[in-house]
């Protein structure tokens, strides 16, 4: 094994030892093991039970295709030797560092290999082959639990819901109703399947709405919801939308529309992945706005997370 590969092996050994201990202690089986720790090994490595999601950030590496393939194989061999996974269970994805911001939710394959993983007693469908993301954003594990702890008897709204993981947590805690909104039919179906998987699907109180959040919010009467989760993409554009979404430009209007639909005493969890995001707190009509980025950062993202999270009291 060459010197660089030994460095990768040592690093992975060290981080896996540390993180697997913490994961075991917290009974967590899906977590991020490695994220770009060494520049020459620009991977994101996540464990989903007995499977590994290995994303390689593309960069100019100067290798020919054959050399690159060979190098990747050697890296996979290192991973399989250290992590409890079989070679066949390593799912490799190559992601551009600056993915085209408009096609980040598009399909990358059509193998339709879904399997379920457990998180805090709930089940979620994950797909490691067909999309850039897996179906479960591991960095919001703590936030999901926070939402669950407050959901009992409440009317919950999950905006930009993706595969509905927040909705599942809320429904599991006996929310009065859960409304899941997304612009993608695909993800909305996935969210319904996640509810079904947990025996939580109930059309009389859990609703799935295929809509542009910006337009949907304008239709809501005051006092419609008690707790809202809003986790928008940095940018979004689609034929179904009247206008594109730019979270820095639009967050005040978006949040004020959410506040208008939330009951007094209600709560809003707002998250954004835009690393340069600056909140315009004075223009947002909440009673209090608390930055809960640190409090919602799980052990496997410490020092690595570039997203922001806020709790608004209304
Ligand atoms: C960052 S993901 C949300 C992640 C989710 N909250 C979670 O924790 O799993 C963004 C989602 O917003 C959806 N989306 C993008 N633009 C939208 C719009 N204008 N209205 C509704 N949903 C939109 C995408 O389809 C995607 O599912």
pLDDT band at 76 (very low <50, low <70, confident <90, very high): very high
68 and 127 co-located in one domain: no
Is residue 209 assigned to a domain? yes
Helix 165-172 to helix 141-149 angle, to the nearest 10 degrees?
30
Residues with C-beta less than 6 Å from any ligand 1 atom: 105, 137, 140, 160-163, 165-166, 182-184, 187, 212-214, 231, 233, 236, 241, 245
CA 47 to centroid of ligand 1, rounded, Å: 23
In angstroms, what is the span from residue 88 Cα to ligand 1's centroid? 31
Best mutation site among 183, 185, 258 for ligand 1 pocket (most ligand atoms within 8 Å of CB)? 183
Closest ligand 1 atom number to CA of residue 273: 1
Question: Strand 288-291 and strand 308-313: pairing?
Answer: antiparallel
pLDDT digits (tens, 9 = 90+) for 87-124: 999 999 886 544 444 444 455 666 778 999 999 999 99
Do 131 and 270 fall into the same domain? yes
What is the rounded distance in angstroms from the CA atom of residue 267 to the CA atom of residue 278?
A: 20
Mean pLDDT of 144-150: 98
CATH number of the domain enclosing 75: 3.30.750.80
- With CA atoms as reference, report the closest residue to 52 among 126, 121, 142, 151: 126
**Residues 61 and 119 placed together within one structural domain of the fold:** no
pLDDT at site 93: 87
Q: Do 76 and 185 fall into the same domain? A: no
CB atoms within 10 A of CB 309: 23
pTM of the model: 0.93
Q: Share the mean pLDDT of the chain.
A: 93
**For residue 184, which atom of ligand 1 is closest to its CA?**
25
Q: Within its chain, how far is the Cα of 247 from the centroid?
A: 17
| Domain annotation covers residue 105 | no
Read off φ and ψ for residue 191, nearest 5 degrees: -60, -40
Residues forming beta bridges with residue 57, ordered by sequence position: 95
Question: Do 198 and 288 sit in the same domain of this protein?
Answer: yes
pLDDT at 109: 62
Are 91 and 137 contained in the same domain?
no
Q: Write out pLDDT tens, residues 225-272.
A: 999 999 999 999 877 777 889 999 999 999 999 999 999 999 999 999
């Amino acid at each position: 094994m060459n010197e660089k590969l030994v460095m990768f092996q040592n690093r992975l050994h060290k981080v896996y030892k540390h993180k697997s201990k913490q994961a075991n202690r917290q009974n967590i089986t899906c977590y991020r093991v490695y994220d770009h720790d060494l520049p020459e090994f620009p991977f994101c490595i996540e464990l989903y039970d007995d499977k590994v999601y290995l994303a390689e950030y593309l960069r100019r590496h100067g290798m020919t295709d054959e050399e690159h393939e060979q190098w990747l194989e050697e890296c996979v061999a290192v991973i399989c030797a250290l992590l409890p996974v079989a070679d066949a269970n390593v799912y490799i994805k190559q992601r551009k560092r600056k993915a085209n911001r408009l096609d980040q939710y598009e399909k990358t394959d059509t193998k339709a290999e879904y399997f379920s993983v457990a998180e805090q007693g709930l089940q979620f469908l994950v797909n490691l082959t067909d999309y850039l993301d897996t179906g479960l954003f591991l960095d919001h594990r703590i936030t999901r639990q926070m939402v669950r702890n407050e959901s009992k008897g409440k009317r919950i709204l999950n905006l930009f819901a993706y595969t509905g993981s927040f909705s599942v947590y809320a429904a599991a805690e006996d929310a009065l109703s859960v409304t899941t909104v997304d612009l993608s039919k695909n993800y909305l179906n996935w969210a319904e399947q996640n509810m079904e998987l947990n025996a939580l699907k109930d059309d009389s109180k859990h609703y799935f709405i295929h809509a542009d959040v910006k337009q949907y919010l304008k239709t809501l009467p005051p006092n419609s919801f008690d707790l809202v989760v809003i986790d928008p993409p940095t940018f979004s554009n689609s034929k179904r939308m009247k206008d594109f979404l730019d979270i820095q430009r639009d967050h005040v209007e978006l949040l004020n529309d959410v506040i208008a639909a939330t009951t007094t005493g209600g709560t809003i969890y707002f998250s954004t992945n835009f690393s340069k995001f600056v909140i315009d707190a004075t223009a947002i009509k909440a009673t209090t706005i608390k930055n809960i980025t640190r409090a919602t950062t799980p052990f496997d993202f410490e020092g690595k997370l570039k997203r922001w999270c806020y709790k608004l009291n209304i």
